[in-house]
Amino acid sequence: MAISLPSGVFSKYNEAIVLFERTCKLVYPEKRTECPNCIISTIGRSSRSTSIYRSGGDYPFPRGMPCPLCGGVGYKATLSSDEIPMRVYWNRKNWVDVGIPIDVPDNVIQTVADMTHMPKITRCQYMELQEHKIASYETFRFQRMGSSYPQGFKQNPVKYVVNFWERRG
């Protein structure tokens, strides 16, 4: 027999989740773009700068010197990131039960986020999080462990995703 709960219960539950959320920074893998300032050698497997200025580039340089824009590498690496709100559980005894027993090391945290952020969480390389909301505190870097766990009640229109993160450096 299905139990029908009033919708007000879920609105209070959703408000409680949002009340304790923190802004977490998701950093995605770097994207490499070809340097617009120098000519790239396509011989061999890796593309490198030929140390020849490409006409129309931003920073002219003498032939044979490394490109000042890419340093002679031939590409520029750019990192992109997003900031999303997540509820962070530092203490294991406060973790949300995901339905299966999980054995994790001591340097692991659990986060709960809105299900709409799951594609961003899945795509990210790592997450940066400050220990406290004060800017002078240390920022920690976490790597996602395993799969995401969908969480929520059938009647609740808002669904959540639970993730485990291991501290890296």
Do 62 and 118 fall into the same domain? Answer: no
Local structure of 18: helix, strand or coil: helix
CB within 8 Å of 165: residues ≥ 6 apart = 108, 109, 110, 111, 127, 142, 143, 144, 145
Give the domain-ending residue among 42, 58, 78: 78
Q: How much is the pLDDT for 93?
A: 83
Same domain membership, residue 87 and residue 138: yes
Same-domain pairing of 16 and 64: no
Q: What is the pLDDT of residue 129?
A: 86
Q: Which of 46, 63, 78 is the last residue of a domain?
A: 78
Please list the pLDDT of the chain residue by residue as tens digits (169 residues).
556 666 666 666 666 666 677 889 999 999 888 888 888 887 766 678 788 888 888 889 998 889 988 888 888 888 899 999 998 988 888 887 777 777 777 889 999 998 899 999 999 999 998 766 555 567 889 999 988 888 876 666 678 899 999 998 6
Helices (H), the chain: 7-19, 118-123
- Residue 156's pLDDT is what? 61
C-alpha–C-alpha distance, residues 42 and 154, integer Å: 55
Is 2 within a domain?
no
d(CA 74, CA 51): 9
Residues 18, 35 within the same domain:
no
Domain that holds residue 117: 7-29+80-167
Pairwise CA distance, residues 87 & 20, whole Å: 6
| Nearest to 129, CA basis, from 167, 78, 80, 160 | 167
Domain-embedded: residue 1: no
CA 120 vs CA 6, 11, 126, 164: distances in Å: 32, 25, 11, 15
Q: What is the pLDDT of residue 29?
A: 93
The answer to whether position 87 is within a domain reads yes
In this prediction, residue 48 carries a pLDDT of: 80
Domain's final residue, options 78, 107, 138: 78
Residue 117, token pair as written in the block: 């952020």
Give how far the C-alpha of residue 84 lies from the chain's centroid of Cα atoms, to the nearest Å.
9
